[in-house]
Amino acid sequence: MSRSSDLAALARLLADDTRARFCLALLDGRAWTAGELAALAGVSASTASEHLGKLVGGGLLVERRQGRHRYVQLAGPRVAELLEGLVAHPEPVRERPVSLRMSRVSAALARGRTCYDHLAGRLGVAITDALAGRGLLDTSAGFALTGEGVDWLTGPLGVPPEDLRSSRRPLAKACLDWTERRSHLAGLAGARICDRLLANGWVKRVGTHRAVAVTPAGTEALRTLLALDVTRLQ
């Protein structure tokens, strides 16, 4: 009975539209203040605080305080993968954008975005396909990085080898992409690829949401590293 009760409690946590909006915003992997989330959802500070308290108490978010500011973020990659999987579960519904801005945001998220700490959207799926096509990622039974894949991460991509040994997270994991309806690479390898692309300026964040775009330098780098032509993803 305890498992059914836990599942029901989780469903109740996410059954509120405001709390669901907070969780989806936090999929960008960054820490947000309560005020920022309140403005995003169009609710009062007191309402936001009440909802955040429930999400923290339910284990979906963690809280950090720095000076006078209260920050919250997802409790970890498992929570991010759970949310992304839940969003991908319903059949896609074609909604008429309520504004030109919303239409542009939606298109940008579909092209490329962060899913907590790894890449998603057409960009994330294309990188995953390129890794598999070059024998760096084995997708025959789940996701597993090959020996060549580890060498690629620690060689051409420049990930320090110790960064692949300092975590209990799976090295490679499939994460269902809610816009592409296919899996992209999550796990430690997915996170390190995202880290390197952002740190090298090959990918940049777009606006205040979690959309990302490939820079001109990134276009050349991905062509060299993975024979991937990202201009076809537009």
List the domains of the chain with CATH numbers.
2-75 (1.10.10.10), 99-233 (no CATH)
- One DSSP character per residue, 7-64 reads HHHHHHHHTSHHHHHHHHHGGGSS-EEHHHHHHHHT--HHHHHHHHHHHHHTTSEEEE
* Cα diameter, the chain: 55
Distance CA 21, CA 85 (A): 15
Q: Which pair of tokens denotes residue 164? A: 């692949």
pLDDT value for 169: 84
Q: What is the pLDDT along the chain (234 residues), one digit of tens a residue?
A: 578 888 899 999 999 999 999 998 888 878 899 998 999 899 999 999 999 999 999 999 999 887 777 889 999 888 888 887 788 766 555 555 555 566 677 788 889 999 888 999 999 999 999 999 999 999 998 899 999 999 999 999 999 998 887 677 889 999 888 888 889 999 999 999 999 999 999 999 987 678 899 999 999 999 999 999 999 887
